[in-house]
Structure 1
Amino acid sequence: MSEENHEIIANEVDIEEGEPTITGSGARQDERLGVLIWFRISRIFNQSLRASNQHLKQWDLSAAQFDVLVQIGAHKRLTQQELADKLFVTKGNITQLLVKMEDLGLIKREQEWKKKWLSLTEQGWELYNDVVPKQETFQASHFAGLNREEKQQLLGLLRKIQKNNVED
């Protein structure tokens, strides 16, 4: 990363209103804008994750536990590998999380031939039905400052970014 891009990031930390002026031309200006966009997305993600963790404390859940609850609940049952793929992590990365959720009585594992399936317990379903609608409303509230057209445009741009950054 160039010294100019470091300056953009340093300046971004102090900016509350507006954006820094991006100087330069062509590819250089595009790169600097890309750095600024990346930093803004990263900052929004971190703020949102902190806010979600704070909101989910009402149910003694972390954002990671909520993600597991949602994925298993939405699919009724998954293997640990399928869950890891949906969460974009490795199977090993979620092992401790699953053990904790199993200890809390939220999920259960069932061996079926060579596969081990994850599903919600009755207690897990009760929590799922309580927390998911409230967390979805909370998450959607972060975009209250945008009208429907702006939300659709933002979603389209984010999909385009994601599609262009898919690792093979």
Structure 2
Amino acid sequence: MKQEFKISETMLWVRLAVTFNLLYQEIKKDLSKENLTVSQLDILVCLNRTKGLPLTEIADRLLVTGGNVTGIIDRLENAGLVMRQRDQKDRRQVWARLTPKGYAVYRQLMPRYIETMRKINSYLTPAEAKELMRLLKKLRVGVMKKASRDLIPLSMNTNLERE
């Protein structure tokens, strides 16, 4: 027997995708004024919270490939925002950390980025925002539990359930 297809079953996913794309474009537009991409901002945010990270850990945190991170770090390094450093104990491992200019750009960008997020979030009441966060976490954790553990970095498996 053929299972009946219901449009309402896909509308949630369509709306999530469309909403994500709209939010992404808004952030992308704001960052383009600074000649930065969303991926570059993601790395600046990761590195700002630390004294540096191995490139492999950055890739795990951002759910991208090592090659992707290498290319983004290349561009950030060329802009003087990031520097690479070989691990003293394991010379095969390369770390990235923010330069003073990178910290300055981060500090300059964040107030505008936060203001953009506030404008976007203003469409929801605090209670609605809290409920949306709860529901998205529930959905994300459920998807992560069903996903192949080989495809998801270990750091993502453990960190997502704590958020």
- Under TM normalisation by the shorter chain, which class is it? 0.7 to 0.9
**Alignment-derived partner of residue 98 in structure 2:** 120
- Listed as ranges, the gaps of 5+ residues in structure 1 are 3-26
Q: Which letter does structure 2 place at the counterpart of 1:161? A: L
- Listed as ranges, the gaps of 5+ residues in structure 2 are 150-163
Note the alpha carbon deviations across 1:14-62, whole angstroms, 9 max, x for none: xxxxxxxxxxxxx957x64331011111011111111111111222111
RMSD of aligned Cα (Å): 1.8
Stretches of 4+ moved more than 6 A in 1? none
Whether 2:137 is the aligned partner of 1:159: answer yes
2:36 partner SS: coil
**Alignment-derived partner of residue 28 in structure 2:** 53
**Alignment-derived partner of residue 34 in structure 1:** 9
Number of corresponding residues: 142
| Aligned partner of 1:77 among 46, 52, 56 | 52
Deviation at residue 136 of structure 1 after TM alignment: 2.0
Matches of 2:4 and 2:45 in 1, distance apart?
A: 42
Please identify the structure whose Cα radius of gyration is greater: 1
Matches of 1:37 and 1:55 in 2, distance apart?
A: 27
Paired residues of 1:70 and 1:132 also in contact (CA < 8 A) = no
Aligned identity (percent) is 26
Deviation at residue 109 of structure 1 after TM alignment: 0.6
**Alignment-derived partner of residue 22 in structure 1:** none
Paired residues of 1:65 and 1:101 also in contact (CA < 8 A) = yes
Matches of 1:104 and 1:97 in 2, distance apart?
A: 11
**Alignment-derived partner of residue 136 in structure 1:** 114
**Alignment-derived partner of residue 40 in structure 2:** 65
Q: Please report the TM-score for the alignment, with normalisation by the length of structure 1.
A: 0.78
2:84 partner SS: strand
Matches of 1:34 and 1:131 in 2, distance apart?
A: 39
